[in-house]
């Protein structure tokens, strides 16, 4: 098949792809070209001001073609709010494009738009787009883009720019234009371009999608020039335009020879351990990991960067992380993000000393990952450089089938017997994990403020028989879901923010809920009050677009992580008896009523709930709303963690 698709062929392809798109394309163009007959009598020319202006209607515009391009990429949604630098593109999206593929999802902040893309991509396994205003919108969106970059998640960021200073309108358009829009986010995007022609836009848009969705995945940015969007496509040019066909390609996999070496090390090891963080990239990732772990009867330690392994699998020894690592003679680290941290620890003590944890002196580390394939200089998400014994550059999940085969080919009957004995001990240990966690949470069952363990288990009681997903981070709620729930589906959770930029969870969860909507899945998001306050406007988006999601606001009335940090600083300096100890870290006086906020955005909400006995009924009512396709929020006055 020819790489080039002629314009006529492309239009035929669109028509074949779906009657709706074909109809929109035809009627949109026709409507713009045929002006209705006027019943207004003509005004003499000498009485008209600006009588030298050409007719202010036009035919097919540049941004219509841009939408033609975007439609070839199977992007379902574009989260955005209006910005004059992309007004042409927005109008084409909603009218010429029929507001389908992509559908315009209205948000109230660009950061929320980008964070929704982050959450959506991790569930849908494909990117959505956000469209942000030139300069100021991109500045707003930048933190969420950085989070996604650090989390190696794809998103398509579109922005506009009135690049030609001669056609730029006075004042505001100057403020929102730039010589180089992308510089704001270039340090944390995989690629960007500011194409100068419609053909260049087509090429760059397809290239951007291709790069964003190939491991290592990351956000990309395309700047659509304002004149290019708004001007009519010259008749002669339209016939020459073509849209490159995107061919989905495979991901980089590990060197086969090195994979064989890795298998040898794993089979020969006395106590191999598999460490995973950002490992699972598709719904098949957990199954491959379990296959390898069961072949070796090796424990798995999970840092929850993705939904890597069922939390109750007998070989999941994440609750025994340190003893498991201490016993290891080989650690296989799959997309670990921070390899150095496997054998080192910078203590939060004066001078920040490195206090390495106890490890086998003969420990060997095998690394399979794509981290080093995308590293930038300024922002330090690369983590500290670590020496390993065998490093295999490539996508860990894509490399897994060949690693499994290599391990299989080297296992003998003697190995199997040894592995079985090892596995039996591991099974016996993990059988106690759940009871220990239940005992821990029992200690806080009646506590007030409501404990995080109680909150989590009251929620679990309401969703355990549903098709559910929890897209939010759990480190601020003592990881209770991983300790107590039964998380066994690839979509049950999706990892964290990547860069810990606060304000991720609330909008990213909504992006995940948007992806879950077609599955009828109950999305439950436990968000801290600090995170929520960064992006409360997403409640309006959830209500407006009827995206089913249950928000539980973990309302501990503080930036609790920072409470601990400031107390630590004060203790060291012997000033913790100061009456100012909590200045700047507590969110009190007045206490915020999140249910009222939600109701103001049109969402069903209850709270604040302070009595643990009121929790179950409130959560039940919230889940019922979500099952009916609505969003809901419960405000829970809760313990710090």
Partner 1 sequence: MRKFTILAGLLLAVSLAQAQEYAPPKGDAHNGAALFQKFGCYSCHGSWGQGTGRDGPRLNPPPAFPVVLQQLRTPRREMPPYVASIIPDQGVADIYAYLSSLPKAPDPKSIKELQ
What is the closest distance, in whole angstroms, from the C-beta atom of residue 576 to partner 1 in the complex? Answer: 6
Q: Restricting to residues 573-612, which ones interact with partner 1 according to CB under 8 A?
A: 574, 576-577, 581
- Judged by CB under 8 A, does residue 16 bind partner 1? no
Q: Which of residues 431 and 442 has its CB atom nearest to partner 1 in the complex?
A: 442
Q: How far apart are the first and last CA of the chain?
A: 58
Q: Pick from 5, 202, 368, 484 the residue near partner 1 by CB under 8 A.
A: 484
Nearer to partner 1, 123 or 637 (CB): 637
Helix (H, G, I), strand (E, B) or coil at 101: coil
User: From the CB of 484, what's the least distance to partner 1, in Å?
Assistant: 8
Part in contact with partner 1 (CB under 8 A); list of ranges 50-58, 384-392, 495-503, 560-568: 560-568
Q: Which residue has the tokens 């990309």?
A: 220
CB nearer to partner 1: pick between 116 and 487 = 487
Angle, CA 205 vertex, CA 202 and CA 211 arms, to 5°: 135
Q: To 5 degrees, how large is the angle CA 171–CA 173–CA 178?
A: 115
Asked if 526 and 456 touch (Cβ cutoff 8 Å), the reply is yes
**Least gap, CB of 623 to partner 1 (angstroms):** 14
Q: Please state the closest distance from residue 458 (CB atom) to partner 1, in A.
A: 6
Residue (32 or 563) nearer to partner 1, CB? 563
Mention every residue, 6+ apart, whose C-beta is less than 8 A from residue 435.
none
CB atoms within 10 A of CB 103: 18
CB of 592 vs partner 1, minimal distance in Å: 20
Query: Which of residues 1 and 574 has its CB atom nearest to partner 1 in the complex?
Result: 574
From the CB of residue 499, how many other CB atoms can be counted at a distance below 10 Å? 18
- CA dihedral (24, 30, 34, 35) in degrees, to 10, reads 20
- 432 near partner 1 (CB under 8 A): no
Of the pair 144, 457, the CB lying nearest partner 1 is at 457
478 is a contact residue toward partner 1 (CB under 8 A):
yes
Ramachandran quadrant class, 259 (left: phi over 0; alpha: psi -120 to 50; beta: rest): alpha
* Closest to partner 1 by CB, 448 or 628: 448
Residue from the set 441, 510, 603, 636 that interacts with partner 1 by CB under 8 A? 441
Q: What is the DSSP string of 560-598?
A: HHHHHHHHHHHHHTT-TT-TTTTTTTB--SSPP-HHHHH
Among 75, 94, 237, 563, binds partner 1 (CB under 8 A): 563
The answer to whether residue 560 forms part of the interface with partner 1 (CB under 8 A) is yes
In sequence order, which ranges of 82-196 are alpha helices (DSSP H)? 87-91, 110-124, 136-150, 172-175
The pair of structure tokens assigned to 102 is 């992509």
Q: Count the site residues for partner 1 by CB under 8 A.
A: 40
Binding flag, residue 214, partner 1 (CB under 8 A): no
Measured distance CA(533)–CA(506) in Å, rounded: 9
Q: Does 411 bind partner 1 (CB under 8 A)?
A: no
Nearer to partner 1, 300 or 457 (CB): 457
C-beta of residue 482 within 8 angstroms of C-beta of residue 535: no
Structure tokens at 185: 């986010």
439 contributes a contact to partner 1 by CB under 8 A: yes
Q: Which of the residues 319 through 378 are near partner 1 (CB under 8 A)?
A: 347-349
Task: Tell me which residues touch partner 1 (CB under 8 A).
Answer: 347-349, 435, 438-449, 451, 453, 457-458, 460-461, 478-479, 484, 560, 563-564, 567-568, 571-572, 574, 576-577, 581, 616, 639-641
């Amino acid at each position: 098949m020819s790489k080039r698709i002629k314009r006529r062929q492309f239009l035929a392809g669109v028509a074949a792809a779906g009657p709706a798109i074909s109809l929109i394309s035809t009627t949109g163009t026709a409507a713009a070209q045929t002006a209705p007959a006027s019943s207004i009598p003509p005004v003499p020319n000498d009485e008209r001001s600006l009588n030298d202006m050409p007719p202010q209607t036009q035919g097919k515009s540049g941004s219509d073609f841009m939408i033609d391009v975007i439609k070839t990429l199977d992007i379902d949604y574009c989260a955005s709010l209006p910005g004059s630098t992309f007004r042409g593109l927005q109008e084409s999206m909603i009218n010429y494009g029929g507001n389908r593929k992509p559908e315009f999802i209205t948000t109230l902040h660009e950061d929320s738009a980008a964070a929704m893309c982050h959450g959506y991509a991790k569930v849908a396994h494909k990117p959505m787009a956000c469209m942000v205003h030139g300069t100021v919108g991109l500045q707003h969106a930048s933190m969420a883009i950085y989070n996604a970059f650090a989390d190696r998640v794809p998103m398509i960021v579109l922005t506009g720019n009135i690049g030609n200073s001669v056609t730029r309108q006075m004042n505001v358009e100057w403020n929102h234009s730039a010589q180089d829009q992308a510089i704001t986010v270039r340090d944390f995007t995989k690629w960007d371009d500011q194409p100068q022609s419609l053909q260049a836009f087509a090429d760059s848009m397809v290239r951007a999608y291709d790069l964003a969705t190939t491991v290592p995945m990351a956000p990309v940015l395309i700047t659509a020039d304002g004149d290019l969007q708004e001007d009519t496509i010259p008749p002669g040019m339209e016939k020459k335009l073509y849209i490159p066909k995107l061919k989905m390609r495979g991901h980089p996999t590990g060197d086969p020879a090195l994979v064989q070496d890795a298998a040898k090390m794993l089979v020969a090891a006395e106590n191999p351990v598999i460490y995973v963080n950002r490992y699972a990239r598709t719904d098949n990732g957990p199954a491959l990991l379990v296959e390898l772990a069961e072949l070796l009867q090796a424990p798995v330690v999970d840092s929850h960067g993705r939904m890597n392994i069922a939390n109750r699998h007998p070989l999941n020894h994440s609750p025994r992380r340190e003893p498991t690592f201490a016993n290891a003679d080989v650690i296989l680290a799959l997309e670990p993000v921070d390899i150095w941290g496997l054998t080192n620890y910078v203590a939060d003590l004066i001078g920040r000393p490195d206090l390495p944890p106890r490890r086998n002196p003969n420990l060997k580390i095998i690394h399979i990952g794509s981290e080093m394939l995308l590293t930038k200089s300024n922002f330090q998400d690369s983590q500290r450089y670590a020496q390993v014994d065998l490093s295999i550059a490539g996508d860990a999940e894509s490399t897994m089938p060949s690693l499994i085969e290599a391990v299989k080919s080297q296992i003998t009957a003697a190995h199997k017997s040894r592995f079985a004995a090892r596995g039996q001990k591991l099974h016996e240990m993990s059988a106690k994990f759940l009871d220990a966690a239940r005992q821990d949470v029992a200690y806080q069952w009646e506590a007030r403020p409501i404990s995080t363990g109680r909150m989590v288990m009251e929620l679990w009681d309401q969703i355990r028989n549903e098709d559910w997903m929890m897209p939010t981070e759990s480190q601020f709620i003592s990881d209770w879901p991983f300790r107590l729930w039964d998380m066994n589906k690839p979509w049950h959770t999706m990892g964290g923010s990547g860069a810990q930029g606060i304000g991720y969870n609330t909008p990213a969860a909504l992006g995940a809920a948007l992806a879950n909507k077609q599955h009828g899945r109950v999305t439950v998001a436990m968000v801290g009050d600090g995170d929520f306050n960064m992006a409360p406007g997403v409640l309006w988006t959830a209500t407006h677009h009827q995206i089913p999601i249950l928000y539980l606001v973990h309302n501990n009335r503080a930036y609790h992580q920072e409470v601990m940090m400031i107390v630590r600083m004060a203790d060291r300096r012997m000033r913790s008896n100061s009456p100012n100890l909590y200045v700047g870290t507590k969110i009190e006086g007045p206490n915020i009523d999140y249910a009222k906020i939600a109701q103001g955005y049109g969402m069903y909400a209850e709270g604040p709930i302070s009595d643990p006995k009121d929790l179950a009924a409130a959560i039940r009512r919230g889940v019922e709303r979500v099952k009916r396709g609505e969003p809901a929020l419960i405000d829970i006055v809760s313990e710090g963690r």
